[in-house]
């Protein structure tokens, strides 16, 4: 991983410094595999192959059975746009300045250094047909990158049907995943094509959520969305089979972050940051492999370049998971920064059995006002139960008005991350080690979150965000965002 000085030197050269990919692979154009990313929104580790007994996910389970499962995969950001900005560059979003959710939508834009190429650009330069779509294959799929890019030239088309004969493709298929809970229509389709549906009474909730009908209904809908996602994966595999593309296609299956729940999306506990990650590459990797080493979701970038025989840029923080260049990570770091109007900065380090979390705004509540999450039905219910004194100590953890500056969890004995060991004398040395790892990572990767976002950037983004809500007729929502913006500014002025 380059340090700050090396990174600046590479970007100043204005070109790609590269290391060699698989010998001779780039020359064998017809032998080069197609590369397909299946990227699912808002979904945690709840597939059948991961031990979730309520769901039926035969197609994803097949990918796991015939491919390589990475059981300790973490996103570098637990929210859509920073996560996607990282995956499409193979860089930490904090290094390239894309760490604030949906930044660059205002008048102040983020431009990447000329030397940093997006993954589709690298594939296109190598002769691949590049595409980004959804399950209907009729329109472009979600990008959500927090920087300026040319959306008219980045992808050749929504899907691979427009490519030349024998031209390999690099494709992304974006699936709605957990966001299906916000819509309608899919549920009836699932009922017509599934043997059974999951009901609220079958759900076992994590211990940090109240055993309440609102939470149960939401989790049942979420688990059914897992089943529906599996059905979509089956349709993708069937199309590839019919087009005789399946055996020469490398598939990477993952989610962009965890479930949108109170302690999930936007936070660095495993519910929000740990994701499914499967590489399916028939004839290229051993089937049925389960690998427990720590990986970052950005590692899909270098891994894909490896399989295609494309040279991997030296500046890229992504690491290939296969081949002679594969290097295991000693730890993984995840980061959460501003999400829409809600200002925050949290960092986590996972090493071995331990997870360390640093809260840089300890005087603020975990659940700061955030219009996006506060409009979820479970959020209102959670606050209501808390105000009525109906939550136990564990269920109340995330509703504290302040938070510890540091959190330390032993994931082997405490997989739910509810017993903070940061204040325990017997774990003082581990705490110091993890603190040092994070401090080193912040400097080594040039974590730009250590510098407060300029008011001009925040104000510009918020103006566009609020204006769009008003234009869409969501006046009450816009007013709520505006009120939250004022509170963020007040807390900043108070030094909170």
**Contact residues for 429 (Cβ-Cβ < 8 A; gap 6+):** none
Q: In angstroms, rounded to a whole number, what is the distance separating the alpha carbons of residues 261 and 227?
A: 18
Instruction: Check whether 8 has a pLDDT greater than 60.
Output: no
- Domain spans of the chain, in order of start: 4-325, 455-496
Q: Residue 176 in 3-state DSSP?
A: coil
Instruction: Check whether 292 has a pLDDT greater than 70.
Output: yes
Percent of the chain with pLDDT over 90: 88
Residue 30, pLDDT score: 44
CB distance 246 to 280 below 8 Å: no
Q: In angstroms, rounded to a whole number, what is the distance separating the alpha carbons of residues 408 and 203?
A: 28
**Contact residues for 176 (Cβ-Cβ < 8 A; gap 6+):** 41, 134, 183, 225, 229
**Contact residues for 271 (Cβ-Cβ < 8 A; gap 6+):** 44, 206, 258, 259, 261, 263, 264
Return the structure tokens found at 471.
Answer: 């234009």
Residue with tokens 């609020």: 466
Give the phi and the psi of residue 252 in degrees, each rounded to 5: -110, 120
Indicate the helix (H) or strand (E) that contains 278: strand 277-280
Residue 53, pLDDT score: 96
Residue 426, pLDDT score: 97
Q: Residue 295 in 3-state DSSP?
A: strand
Q: Give pLDDT tens digits for 295-333.
A: 999 999 999 999 999 999 999 999 999 999 999 999 999
Banded model confidence at residue 196, pLDDT cuts 50, 70, 90: confident
Q: Give pLDDT tens digits for 349-386.
A: 999 999 999 999 999 999 999 999 999 999 999 999 99
With vertex at residue 116, the alpha carbon angle to CA 73 and CA 344, rounded to the nearest 5 degrees, is: 55
Residue 7, pLDDT score: 38
Instruction: Check whether 439 has a pLDDT greater than 60.
Output: yes
Instruction: Check whether 129 has a pLDDT greater than 70.
Output: yes
Return the structure tokens found at 333.
Answer: 């770091």
> Of the candidates 71, 47, 73, which has an alpha carbon nearest to the alpha carbon of residue 58?
47
Residue 195, pLDDT score: 64
Banded model confidence at residue 23, pLDDT cuts 50, 70, 90: very low
Q: Residue 85 in 3-state DSSP?
A: helix
Q: Give pLDDT tens digits for 137-158.
A: 999 999 999 999 988 899 999 9
CB distance 117 to 157 below 8 Å: no
> Of the candidates 356, 332, 360, which has an alpha carbon nearest to the alpha carbon of residue 346?
360
Indicate the helix (H) or strand (E) that contains 174: strand 169-175
Cα 267 to the center of its chain, rounded Å: 11
Residue 17, pLDDT score: 33
CB distance 353 to 411 below 8 Å: yes
Better-scored residue on pLDDT, 11 or 252: 252
Residue with tokens 């980004």: 132
Residue 11, pLDDT score: 37
Among this protein's residues, is 339 annotated catalytic? no
Average pLDDT, the chain: 92
Banded model confidence at residue 208, pLDDT cuts 50, 70, 90: very high
What global pTM score does this model have?
A: 0.93
- Of 80, 131, 339, 382, which one is the catalytic site residue? 80
CB distance 92 to 298 below 8 Å: yes
Residue 192, pLDDT score: 80
Q: Residue 24 in 3-state DSSP?
A: coil
Q: In angstroms, rounded to a whole number, what is the distance separating the alpha carbons of residues 25 and 119?
A: 18
Q: Give pLDDT tens digits for 78-121.
A: 999 999 999 999 999 999 999 999 988 888 899 999 999 999 99
Q: Give pLDDT tens digits for 32-44.
A: 999 999 999 999 9
Superfamily of domain 4-325: Alkaline Phosphatase, subunit A (3.40.720.10)
């Amino acid at each position: 991983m380059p340090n700050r000085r090396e990174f600046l030197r590479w970007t100043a050269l204005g070109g790609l410094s590269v290391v060699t990919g698989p010998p001779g692979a780039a020359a064998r154009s017809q032998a080069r595999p197609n590369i397909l990313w299946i990227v699912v929104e808002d979904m945690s580790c709840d597939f059948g192959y991961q031990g979730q007994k309520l769901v039926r996910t035969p197609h994803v389970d097949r990918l796991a059975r015939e491919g390589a499962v990475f059981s300790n995969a973490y996103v570098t950001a637990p929210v859509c746009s920073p996560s996607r900005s990282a995956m499409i560059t193979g860089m930490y979003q904090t290094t390239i300045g894309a760490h604030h959710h949906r930044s660059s939508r205002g008048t102040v834009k983020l431009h990447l250094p000329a030397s940093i190429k997006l993954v589709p650009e690298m594939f296109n330069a190598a002769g691949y047909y590049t595409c980004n779509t959804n399950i209907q294959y009729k329109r472009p799929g979600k990008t959500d990158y927090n920087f300026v890019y040319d959306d008219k030239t980045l992808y050749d088309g929504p899907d691979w049907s427009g490519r030349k004969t024998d031209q390999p493709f690099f494709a992304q298929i974006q699936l709605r995943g957990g966001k299906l809970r916000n819509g309608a229509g899919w549920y009836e389709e699932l009922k017509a094509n599934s043997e059974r549906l999951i009901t609220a009474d079958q759900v076992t909730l994590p211990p940090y959520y109240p055993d309440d009908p609102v939470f149960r209904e939401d989790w049942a809908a979420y688990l059914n969305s897992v089943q529906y996602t599996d059905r979509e994966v089956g349709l993708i595999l069937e199309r590839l089979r019919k087009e005789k593309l399946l055996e020469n296609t490398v598939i990477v299956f993952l989610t962009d972050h965890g479930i949108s729940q109170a302690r999930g999306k936007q936070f660095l506990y495993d519910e929000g940051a740990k994701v499914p990650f499967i590489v399916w590459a028939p004839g290229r990797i051993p089937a049925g492999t389960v690998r427990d080493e720590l990986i970052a979701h950005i590692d899909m970038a270098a891994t894909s370049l490896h399989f295609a025989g494309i040279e991997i840029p030296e500046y890229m923080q992504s690491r290939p998971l296969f081949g002679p260049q594969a290097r295991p990570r000693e730890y993984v770091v995840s980061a959460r920064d501003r999400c829409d109007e809600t200002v925050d900065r949290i960092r986590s380090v996972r090493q071995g059995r331990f997870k360390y979390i640093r809260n840089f705004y300890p005087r603020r509540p975990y659940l700061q006002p955030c219009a996006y999450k506060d409009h979820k039905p479970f959020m209102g219910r959670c606050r209501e139960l808390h105000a009525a004194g109906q939550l136990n100590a564990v269920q109340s953890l995330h509703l504290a008005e302040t938070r510890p500056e540091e959190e330390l969890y032993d994931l082997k004995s405490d997989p739910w991350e509810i017993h903070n060991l940061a204040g325990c004398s017997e774990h003082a040395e581990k705490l110091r080690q993890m603190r040092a790892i994070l401090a080193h990572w912040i400097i080594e990767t040039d974590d730009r979150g250590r510098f407060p976002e300029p008011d001009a950037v925040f104000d510009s983004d918020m103006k566009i965000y609020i204006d769009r809500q008003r234009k869409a007729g969501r006046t009450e929502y816009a007013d709520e965002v505006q009120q939250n913006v004022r509170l963020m500014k007040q807390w900043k002025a108070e030094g909170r």
